[in-house]
Amino acid sequence: MKVSIWHHNKDIRIEEVPIPEPGPKEMLVRVMACGICGSDIVEWYRLPRAPLVQGHELGAEVVKSGSLVKKYKPGDRVFIAPKVPCLQCYYCTKGHYPQCKEVKERLPGGFAQYILVPETLIEKGTFLLPDHVSYDQSTFIEPLACVIRAMRFAAVKEGQSILVLGCGMSGLLFVKLGRLLQAEVVATDLKARRLEHAREAGADFIIDAREDVAEQLVNQTGRKADVVILCTSAPAAVEQAWRCVDKGGAVVFFAVPGPEKRIEVPINEFWTREIRILTSYYCGPPELAESLDLIAAGRIGVDDLITHILPLHEIEKGFELVMEGRDSLKVIIRPNQ
């Protein structure tokens, strides 16, 4: 079978390896679709583990189940989480599932024709896909779950205003979810086409990020935003976030600048204005289940976010598209195409 070995963003190699044989408590799945996540191209985050097979947003077909696997059978269509928490430790009981220290097994990278799913993920991280949910749509389950969790952290409520900084794929999911929650949604980006995508996704107002966003925000809505969500790692966007959040509001770091970047927080001003600074990293089982339900019910549409579908041997082109960010939103790799 073929796998994609990532060394860095400009060095991705297709290699041939044997198809693994599942043990009694494992199952072999054929990867039908796997999305390229924005985090996949963040080299400071990925390089410490390179070389590696990337890919964690996938839909797959069960090919072979171990003798002790009873939950799934060959032919089942599934989404599989990249990792699952124990649900029992201190962090899990507080809802901080990504901080679980008991995670020992992770899903092998999905940029491969087949992967071997370990027992833990079979039991707690595998979801049957409804017949009407396509493999391509299933690649949104994990990213949408992360968006759901970030909105939950920020306690977004009906009638509040949210400002989304950056209208890539994740930013547009925030726009869509914000509309579903009946919040007033404002979106910014440097690229005119992405602003149009935001308008089409349901944003009430769009603002060119080169303008004075805080001033435009007040002109458009009458005040600053209750929640500002950073979906871009640009330091200039962080400065915009500080200026755009209203009293008693929250700034959510969904994307973060690289560790070499210095960010200054106006903490004295935020202290008197009671501003919260939040970070949101990954998701948990409740958000994954909710995400699948929203997609299956058609309450969050995702087909309009798919811009490119490529075979495995064109994965380097896929990474280039995501890095450039000009014409792409969701880039999906179909390893068996």
Q: What is the pLDDT of residues 53-106, one digit of tens each?
A: 999 999 999 999 999 999 999 999 999 999 999 999 999 999 999 999 999 889
What would the mean pLDDT of 266-293 be, rounded to a whole number?
A: 97
Residues 136 and 231 in one domain: no
Which residues, 6+ apart, have CB-to-CB distance to 130 below 8 Å?
296
What would the mean pLDDT of 289-304 be, rounded to a whole number?
A: 98
Residues 15 and 130 in one domain: yes
285 located within any domain: no
CB-based contact 231:256 (threshold 8 Å):
no
Unique residue bearing structure tokens 């590696």:
52
What is the domain range of residue 192? 151-279
297 located within any domain: no
Q: How many domains does the chain have?
A: 2
Confidence of residue 327 (pLDDT cuts 50, 70, 90): confident
What would the mean pLDDT of 112-127 be, rounded to a whole number?
A: 96
pLDDT of residue 105: 87
Mean pLDDT of all residues in the chain?
97
291 located within any domain: no
Query: In the structure encoding, which two tokens stand for residue 255, read together?
Result: 């994307």
Residues 196 and 110 in one domain: no
Taking each helix axis as running N to C, give the angle between helix 285-296 and helix 141-154, from 0 to 180 degrees, rounded to the nearest 10: 110
Residues 6 and 136 in one domain: yes
Q: What is the DSSP string of 148-183?
A: HHHHHHHT--TT-EEEEE--SHHHHHHHHHHHHTT-
pLDDT of residue 104: 84
What would the mean pLDDT of 197-226 be, rounded to a whole number?
A: 97
- What does the pLDDT look like over 129-174, one tens digit per residue? 999 999 999 999 999 999 999 999 999 999 999 999 999 999 999 9
167 located within any domain: yes
Residues 184 and 306 in one domain: no
CB-based contact 324:307 (threshold 8 Å):
no
d(C-alpha 53, C-alpha 6), whole Å? 6
244 located within any domain: yes
Long-range contacts formed by 192-197: CB under 8 A, 24+ apart: 193/326, 193/327, 194/167, 194/168, 195/167, 197/167, 197/172, 197/305, 197/329
13 located within any domain: yes
176 located within any domain: yes
296 located within any domain: no
d(C-alpha 114, C-alpha 28), whole Å? 7
Residues 118 and 187 in one domain: no
Residues 173 and 272 in one domain: yes
Residues 309 and 242 in one domain: no
pLDDT of residue 302: 98
What would the mean pLDDT of 17-24 be, rounded to a whole number?
A: 97
Domain end marker among 279, 294, 324: 279
Residues 244 and 155 in one domain: yes
pLDDT of residue 253: 98
Question: What percentage of the chain has pLDDT greater than the value 70?
Answer: 100
d(C-alpha 158, C-alpha 176), whole Å? 14
Residues 242 and 313 in one domain: no
CB-based contact 63:85 (threshold 8 Å):
no
- What does the pLDDT look like over 22-32, one tens digit per residue? 999 999 999 99
What would the mean pLDDT of 277-306 be, rounded to a whole number?
A: 97
Residues 134 and 159 in one domain: no
pLDDT of residue 116: 98
Q: What is the dihedral of CA 193, 194, 195, 200, to 10 degrees?
A: 90
CB-based contact 159:183 (threshold 8 Å):
yes
Residues 131 and 214 in one domain: no
Whose CA is closest to 201, among 187, 212, 219, 211?
187
Which residues, 6+ apart, have CB-to-CB distance to 9 below 8 Å?
41, 43, 319, 323
d(C-alpha 197, C-alpha 330), whole Å? 12
CATH code of 248's domain: 3.40.50.720
Confidence of residue 230 (pLDDT cuts 50, 70, 90): very high
pLDDT of residue 179: 97
